[in-house]
Chain A
Amino acid sequence: MTLFFLGLGLILAGGAFAWLLQRTRIADSVFALLVSLGCAAALIPAAGVLGGRTVAGVAWDLGPPTGIWAFDIDALSALFVAVVLGVGLAAVLYGISYLAPEREHRSVGGTHFLTALFLVAMALVVTARATIPFLIAWELMALSAYLLVVFEDEQREVRRAGLIYLAATHIGTLALVAMFALWGTHAGGFTFDAFSRSALPAGAGAAVLSLALLGFGFKAGLVPLHFWLPGAHAAAPSHISALMSGVMIKTGIYGLLRVISLIGGAPPWWSWTVLALGALSGVLGVLWALAQHDLKRLLAYHSIENIGIILLGVGTGALGIAYGRPALALLGFAGAVLHTANHAVFKSLLFMGAGTVFRATGTRAMDRLGGLARHMPLTWILFLIGSVAIVGLPPLNGFVSEWLVFLGMLQAGAALGPVRAAVLGAGVLALIGGLALACFAKVGGVVFLGEPRSESAAKGREAGPGYIAPMAALALACVAIGLLAPPAVRIALEVAATVAGAAGPARQDVIAPLTAAASGITVVSGGLVVLIGLAWAWRRMLERRRPSAWTETWACGYNGVAGRMQYTAASYAAPLLAAFARLSGIRVARAPGAFHTHPFDLVLERLVLPTWRRMAGTAEAIRPLQQGRLHTYLLYIVGVLLALLLYLWLGGAA
């Protein structure tokens, strides 16, 4: 643990240096160096735990008012620490290059400090073992993220997104405070140890689980609690979007898994709810993503989709505990945690790719982009790797985790009783996969391929190594996890075992055959890479013998294409959106010779904002009561006293 805290200290120190030295030239180098060292140091104990070693937890009794501060790293925490700091390091390094052009007119050093603080807070959230340090870290994380979101606070849209985020995250925190208070009263203590030792009465258990779903659900961004997410993720600087989408929302998943492991399972109704919410988030997230015109908003909606996939895993796992099927629990949770890690890697990669495109062209509107592959070949390949990974295709990491989630759901079908119904979730997961494929083919094709659709797209040039290197590292991780499926699956199952509380031979009965089956994935993925490589070499050899001709695109008699003639992101997505209009609430508006789609958020625009306006209206209506004049308040006091006396007098008479 000492090494862990030393690492976190180094990260904070790096941030502080970046802030204090921001006028000097060495600020960036010092910041990069200290954060790298800090992440490396703090990752060592986490890697050790994932490798099978144990770490001694620490606990300090600070007395009232905060009580015991306990921290520990078990396998679940270790996985999340690895995600936070591994992806975090890449994002920080990317951020140094990404923010460099802003140096003239903004406090870039301050932003770096907040980023460091954000990382440390997230690392503390996933290692805290007592209520007070957990909530303090939770709030530090939420607030530093807010300050980072409003980086470009001169834009009205950004301030609005920040405000919605701030409100949403605090509603979530409120639910968590209520949850911990309730739990602590029953457990007789506020450490997680006390929680896990106590047995909650059924009613209190249900309340704790519901509050956990609400509080952590807000953070994770599951539908319908997601409404803050797209705005905030699109408004933030790209490396912060990467951190929020890749890492921060996963603390919500961590929270749910931690609560499950502390309570020792969840009743069927809760598990089914999580499963249903996962299906809803998955399908609606990707449908809403399809309708977006802004690259970063699209990626943000895909985070909702992936949270849905993760929740399908969590729900399956929880069903496994609820119905006493350890194999099911292990598979479901393993799929969830592996997809959490995978999504952190490829979603950060994609957000960084979007940031690179934005820096090169000055726009995030997909219908103004196009043809970037020609001048930004490296960015395109890296973005393509991220796309293939997020769609869940071999040979990359997304496939491994979706495979686990699929197997988990099918495992439910092998059981008896009502849990069998979960097997139908496989159909939903397949639909999500199909929609995600359609969506990312659109993104890659419209942004990077074809002809440029605007002047700004035509002038896009490849970014420097400061942008490429962090993305390349993440892309490498996608490839590595995809090809090394057996160890990845084994680690995910070990982590799942700590969540499910499964031990002994039952656990080995699941882990050994699945790890073996995962080597089949390695054969498929490796074979795919090798065979496509061979086919490419063979085709180019053939081409040398019969050189190809180069001409214009054949457009059915009208040769030559212009950027404006191409299919746009909107026209590509129109048939799918039209087919799902009833479900997603997004209409394809047609007029003679034109059509347009207007992406809006069903929950935000139809539910949250109207409710907010009604609340504001009510508040406005009772405002005359609050004049701020002393004599009015005295009158109120007299009035209330008289009313009370009257009540007592009447009550006494009766």
Chain B
Amino acid sequence: MIAWTAIPALLLVLVVAPLLPGIATKTKSWLTGRRGPPVLQLYFDLGKLWRKRSTYSRTTTWMFRLAPLALLVTSVGAACLLPLDGRSALLGFRGDFIAFASLLAVGRFALVLAGLDTGSSFEGMGASRDATFATFAEPALFLGFVTLFLISGNLSLTGMLGVGAGLLSAWIGGGGHAAPALALITISLFLVLLAETSRVPVDDPATHLELTMIHEVIVLDHSGPDLACILYSSAVKLAVLGALVVGVLVPRTALPAPLTGLVFTGGLVLVAVAIGIVESVMARLRLSRVPQFLVAAAVLSTLGALLVLVR
């Protein structure tokens, strides 16, 4: 159940995670003809925030201070459940994908409560939007897992995405409609990633108007090491969901470990580049349109599940 061999890959992901938002921003800058901040910008920001002290509102309670830590622990916890090295996750058991989704939900629950804890209407707004959009993302994510289960016949993430899952043969036409189903859920999971990590077209990380923010506005009052925790957790969440997309798109085969690591890291970088491309070619959606966007993701997942269901 616990595989210590997964630790190197886990550590690698936890270290390179802050690189991904930087790559996305750099891509966007290049495509729009700007130089943009350095790729390592998030590391600098985290270092700076870490050395500062936090400022708290007198309205807030312990909930506000707990939320960044809960977010950190749950994002890292979710990473522990993914087979990042393609062989096995640090912790794997039957139905661990439910724990994976639930851990991310725990972090969100804490963050939404922290937003409401400040008593600010801006953060209440962010809390409401975060909770609303996450609700729509949930079925898409689960139906994606359902499809993976139907293809691999395995109820743990390691079994769904690891070497033994047989995703490669599924992609090259092994089991009936498995390949189109995989394509559909890859897209669906990528849309979920965009929503869950607050990217265009759901949210614009570069926006400067509080009224249009989602993720930025819910953390408006967090500062210092607390904000560092939140920013780092967001990066880890991006890496984790990116790893999920890469795990589906690039099947793990019995390649030697360094080569697998290379393919996997390359995949993650590609996901970040894709996010940057999406951000430069389209504007964000009107807030009332975002649910439709996520319903579309859920529909894609459902179609994927149906394709493998009817065989």
Q: How large is the interface on B (under 10, 10 to 19, 20 to 34, 35 or more residues)?
A: 35 or more
Q: Which residues of A contact B73 (CB under 8 A)?
A: 528, 531-532, 535
Chain A residue at smallest Cβ distance from B135: A434
Main secondary structure of the interface of B (DSSP, over half): helix
When chains A and B are docked, how far (Å) is the Cα of A444 from the Cα of B61?
13
Chain A residue at smallest Cβ distance from B94: A517
Contact of B105 among A393, A520, A547, A574 (CB under 8 A): A393
Q: Which of A438-452 contact B (CB under 8 A)?
A: 438, 440-442, 444-446, 449-451
Chain A residue at smallest Cβ distance from B81: A524
Q: Are A437 and B108 in contact (CB under 8 A)?
A: yes
Task: Map CB proximity to B onto A547-563 as digits: 1 under 8 Å, 0 otherwise.
Answer: 11111111110000101
Task: Map CB proximity to B onto A121-132 as digits: 1 under 8 Å, 0 otherwise.
Answer: 000000000000
Distance in angstroms from A224 CB to nearest chain B CB is 23
Task: Map CB proximity to A onto B89-112 as digits: 1 under 8 Å, 0 otherwise.
Answer: 001111110110111011011001
Q: Are B138 and A430 in contact (CB under 8 A)?
A: yes
Q: Which residues of B contact A440 (CB under 8 A)?
A: 109
Q: Which residues of A contact B169 (CB under 8 A)?
A: none
Kindly state whether residue A546 has any CB partner on chain B within 8 Å.
Answer: yes
Q: Which residues of A contact B145 (CB under 8 A)?
A: 426
Given A410-B146, A423-B150, A427-B301, the answer on whether A445 and B57 have CB atoms closer than 8 Å is no
- Looking at A96-104, A163-171, A564-572, A607-615, the stretch in contact with chain B turns out to be A564-572
Chain B residue at smallest Cβ distance from A450: B119
Kindly state whether residue B186 has any CB partner on chain A within 8 Å.
Answer: no
Q: Are B221 and A394 in contact (CB under 8 A)?
A: no
When chains A and B are docked, how far (Å) is the Cα of A429 from the Cα of B142?
9
Kindly state whether residue B69 has any CB partner on chain A within 8 Å.
Answer: yes
Q: Are A441 and B53 in contact (CB under 8 A)?
A: no
The number of residues on chain A lying at the interface, defined by a beta carbon within 8 Å of a beta carbon of chain B, is 83
- Looking at A5-13, A413-421, A462-470, A491-499, the stretch in contact with chain B turns out to be A413-421
Q: Are B288 and A433 in contact (CB under 8 A)?
A: no
- Looking at B121-129, B243-251, B263-271, the stretch in contact with chain A turns out to be B121-129
Kindly state whether residue A1 has any CB partner on chain B within 8 Å.
Answer: no
Kindly state whether residue A312 has any CB partner on chain B within 8 Å.
Answer: no
Kindly state whether residue B65 has any CB partner on chain A within 8 Å.
Answer: yes
When chains A and B are docked, how far (Å) is the Cα of A428 from the Cα of B81?
23
Q: Are A535 and B72 in contact (CB under 8 A)?
A: yes
Q: Which of B131-180 contact A (CB under 8 A)?
A: 131-132, 134-139, 141-143, 145-146, 149-150, 153, 155
Q: Which residues of A contact B115 (CB under 8 A)?
A: 445
Q: Which residues of A contact B106 (CB under 8 A)?
A: 388, 393-394, 528
Chain A residue at smallest Cβ distance from B155: A410
Q: Which residues of B contact A539 (CB under 8 A)?
A: 65, 69, 225
Given A427-B139, A520-B99, A543-B54, the answer on whether A445 and B113 have CB atoms closer than 8 Å is yes
Contact of A451 among B93, B119, B125, B143 (CB under 8 A): B119
Q: Which of B159-218 contact A (CB under 8 A)?
A: 210
Chain A residue at smallest Cβ distance from B118: A553
Distance in angstroms from B233 CB to nearest chain A CB is 11
What are the 9 closest A-B residue pairs judged by CB atoms, nearest first?
A: A567-B124, A445-B116, A520-B93, A434-B135, A430-B142, A434-B138, A517-B94, A450-B119, A438-B131
**CB within 8 Å of A: which residues of B?**
1-2, 52-61, 63, 65-66, 69-70, 72-74, 77, 81, 91-96, 98-99, 101-103, 105-106, 108-109, 112-113, 115-122, 124-125, 127-129, 131-132, 134-139, 141-143, 145-146, 149-150, 153, 155, 210, 220-221, 224-225, 287-288, 291, 298, 301-302, 305-306, 309
Q: 19 extra interchain contacts, Cβ-Cβ under 8 A, other than A440-B109, A524-B81?
A: A373-B63, A391-B105, A402-B98, A423-B149, A430-B101, A430-B139, A430-B143, A434-B134, A445-B117, A520-B1, A523-B91, A524-B96, A528-B77, A546-B52, A548-B54, A548-B55, A549-B56, A553-B58, A561-B118
What are 8 A-B pairs with beta-carbon distances under 8 A?
A: A399-B102, A410-B95, A413-B146, A437-B109, A438-B135, A520-B92, A523-B1, A546-B53
